[in-house]
């Protein structure tokens, strides 16, 4: 069976997934605890499709010897697998083992990541990638770690004038320390939202 | 003992508390269930301080005979008490029993509502009122019902360029049907966020 396409994201209560200058320090400052939700994500993921912002953020964090699978890389070194980065500026990306640059449209990029995931899930990172997946009807679930703060400024989860409403169904809820782990199924485009009465 | 000042709000996953044209239909379409969190709010609230947007929304919903405490009014007719509406346009507000119009600054308005609440909590409605309370260090808690949808456009919970970060501590978490009920304590201004390690 084909794996799902999941958006995995940490968000402030006011709906920001990064600070004003792409700051992510707040994510690491939350009084978190081992998260069964995050563990399940790691165990079931076969490939990552990420945007350029995420790639730049991760590579800024790890040292040159550690690489993207090191302790300061993706999922703290606890996951290995194919990583695809969708970028229009491939020339200034550093040469990382495991990372494949793509300049495709979203449908081709998801198809490539799906093939590499070999039946496991594809996890997408980045608001732009996720929004493209949502618009194309390619996103199955959103997994959110809700952080206890108001950021006030930065990169929004979703939303700009004119984008449509998208119905969700909450399928899981858990605490991991001060993080609140939420999992939502995305209503299929054209179908009614599942959560209306 | 003095009651607390609480912000009670329903929010979409992407951080909107009203739609593009102040639409609130989505709030009533969620597959909700009786909420212990909402019950506790009703039992402990002594007064409401609301913004003009909220007042216009509620009065647009109820019929002329029902009044603001009727089944389509505040908390579905399940709460009675003093309601203060902070507005710069008092002249075009309808004459409602129980409603007092204020044109004060936020500190005076909160003091007035506190006095009327007689030791119970003051509940604030509206992003503008809440933001003023946050800036003035007057808000004790945020009680959020998280609705399972992406609205994509409308009135944001919080945040515009330049507003500061505010640390929160999650003190309660519950499900009420498809709504996720979250309760947060606001870190006092000048103190460290409670949720850092």
pLDDT in tens, B134-169: 999 999 999 999 999 999 999 999 988 778 899 999
Q: Nearest-CA neighbor of B173 among B134, B145, B153?
A: B145
Distance separating alpha carbons of residues A162 and B20, to the nearest angstrom = 9
* Whether A153 and B159 lie within 8 Å, measured CB to CB: yes
More confident residue, B65 or A103: A103
- Contact between residue A170 and residue A32 where contact means Cβ atoms under 8 Å apart: no
Distance separating alpha carbons of residues A195 and B29, to the nearest angstrom = 8
**Structure tokens belonging to residue A20:** 């004003």
CA angle A57, A60, A61 (to 5 degrees): 90
Count, in order, helices (H) and strands (E) of chain A: 5, 11
* B23: CB partners within 8 A, 6+ apart: B154
Q: What is the SS3 assignment for A75-129? A: HHHCCCCCEEEECCCHHHCCCCCCEEEECCCHHHHHHHHHHHHCCCEEEEECHHH
Distance separating alpha carbons of residues A167 and A180, to the nearest angstrom = 20
Residue B109 burial by CB count (10 A; 0-12/13-18/19+): exposed, middle or buried?
buried
Provide the 3-class DSSP secondary structure of residue B165.
Answer: coil
Question: Given a cut of 60, is residue B197 above it in pLDDT?
Answer: no
Closest CA–CA distance from residue B91 to any residue of chain A (Å): 32
Q: Nearest-CA neighbor of B6 among B111, B109, B102, B130?
A: B130
* Whether A158 and B173 lie within 8 Å, measured CB to CB: no
* Whether A15 and B20 lie within 8 Å, measured CB to CB: no
The dihedral of CA A74, A76, A77, A80: what is its sign? Answer: negative
A30, A168, A173 ranked by CB distance to B175: nearest? A173
Question: For the segment B13-62, what is each residue's pLDDT rounded down to a tens digit?
Answer: 999 999 998 889 999 899 989 899 999 999 999 999 999 888 888 888 88
B31, B146, B159 ranked by CB distance to A152: nearest? B159
Q: Nearest-CA neighbor of B113 among B176, B184, B51, B34?
A: B51
Closest CA–CA distance from residue A87 to any residue of chain B (Å): 24
Res. A111 pLDDT band, cuts 50 70 90 = very high
* Whether B163 and A153 lie within 8 Å, measured CB to CB: yes
Question: For the segment A117-168, what is each residue's pLDDT rounded down to a tens digit?
Answer: 999 999 999 999 999 999 999 999 999 999 999 999 999 999 887 788 999 9
The dihedral of CA B6, B7, B8, B13: what is its sign? Answer: negative
Res. A195 pLDDT band, cuts 50 70 90 = very low
What's the CA dihedral at A93, A96, A100, A101 to 10 degrees? Answer: 0
Contacts of A149 in chain B (CB under 8 A): 165-168, 193, 195
The pTM of the full predicted model, rounded to 2 decimals, is 0.92
Contacts of A29 in chain B (CB under 8 A): 193, 195-197
């Amino acid at each position: 069976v084909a794996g799902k396409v999941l958006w995995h994201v940490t968000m402030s209560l006011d709906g920001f997934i990064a600070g004003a200058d792409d700051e992510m320090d707040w994510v690491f400052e939350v009084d978190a605890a081992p998260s069964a939700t995050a563990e399940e994500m790691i165990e079931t993921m076969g490939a990552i499709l990420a945007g350029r912002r995420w790639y730049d953020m991760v590579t800024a964090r790890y040292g040159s010897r550690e690489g993207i699978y090191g302790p300061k890389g993706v999922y703290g070194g606890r996951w290995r697998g194919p990583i695809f980065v969708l970028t229009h500026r491939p020339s200034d990306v550093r040469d990382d083992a495991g990372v494949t640059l793509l300049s495709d449209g979203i449908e081709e990029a998801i198809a490539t990541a799906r093939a590499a995931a070999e039946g496991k899930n594809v996890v997408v990172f980045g608001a732009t990638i996720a929004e493209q997946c949502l618009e194309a009807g390619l996103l199955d679930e959103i997994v959110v770690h809700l952080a206890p703060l108001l950021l006030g400024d930065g990169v929004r989860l979703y939303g700009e004038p004119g984008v449509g409403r998208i119905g969700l169904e909450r399928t899981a809820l858990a605490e991991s320390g001060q993080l609140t782990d939420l999992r939502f199924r995305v209503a299929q485009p054209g179908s009614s939202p599942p959560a209306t009465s």
